[in-house]
Amino acid sequence: MHNILRRWETEGDANPRITSLSSTICWYNVICSNCDNLVSKKGVHWFCTTHAKITNPKFRFSLNALIADTTSETGICLSDEVSQKLCGFSCSEIIAQVGSENRKTIPNVFDETMNKTKVFYLQLMRNSKPKRLTYVAIDIQSDTPTPIPPTPATPSSTPPPASTPPSTVRTETKIGKRLQYDDPDVVNLPTPSKRPRTEE
């Protein structure tokens, strides 16, 4: 198969949904557990063209679906995985309940999936032709997205930077004392005293 070609999902009022299920020959295939080839039943035993008698064959869904929305409709094939998602059971589990004889009637376990809006992931099949494209659904999901729980915040391992205290303006006060020394070479004369003025 090629890579995923398109995703058919709900856009506005499109609401894609399965309106009917069908099968080409039968609603399941019996596969050889050794080579994945189809096996045939002879009497009560299953036989593979390569490995002869098979004691434990594998059972896989083989269903087609008609998908419709408000604009158009198209037929697709459903992979075994998608069929299991639709009904909630494996093919082997259903055969264990209803038996393997009635291969034409699709089990009513699929009835609950009809007309429910889904999100389809489609691939283009190898046998497609330019004028007749064939798709297979490789995944299917509910159209209601699953809410994602919020992720708890992880505490940081790096400690926060230390807060810087506000800068303090320091006023520098200089205290000085004036010293006076006597010069030995200078003779200090006594200061003359002032005489009182006499009137003549």
**Residues 12-54: tens digit of each pLDDT:** 446 788 999 999 889 999 999 888 899 988 888 889 988 889 8
Tokens describing residue 49: 């063209």
Q: Is the pLDDT of residue 7 over 60?
A: no
State what percent of residues in the chain have pLDDT above 70: 64
Report the mean per-residue pLDDT for the chain.
75
Average pLDDT of the segment spanning 131-154: 69
Least confident of 74-88, 115-129, 134-148: 134-148
Cβ(65)–Cβ(75) under 8 Å? yes
140 band by pLDDT with thresholds 50, 70 and 90: confident
Name the CA radius of gyration of the chain, rounded: 48
Q: Is the pLDDT of residue 11 over 50?
A: no
pTM for this predicted structure: 0.62
Q: Residue 86 and residue 66: Cα distance in Å, rounded?
A: 14
More confidently predicted of 46 and 159: 46
Q: Residue 21 and residue 162: Cα distance in Å, rounded?
A: 69
Class of domain 4-26+62-142: mainly beta
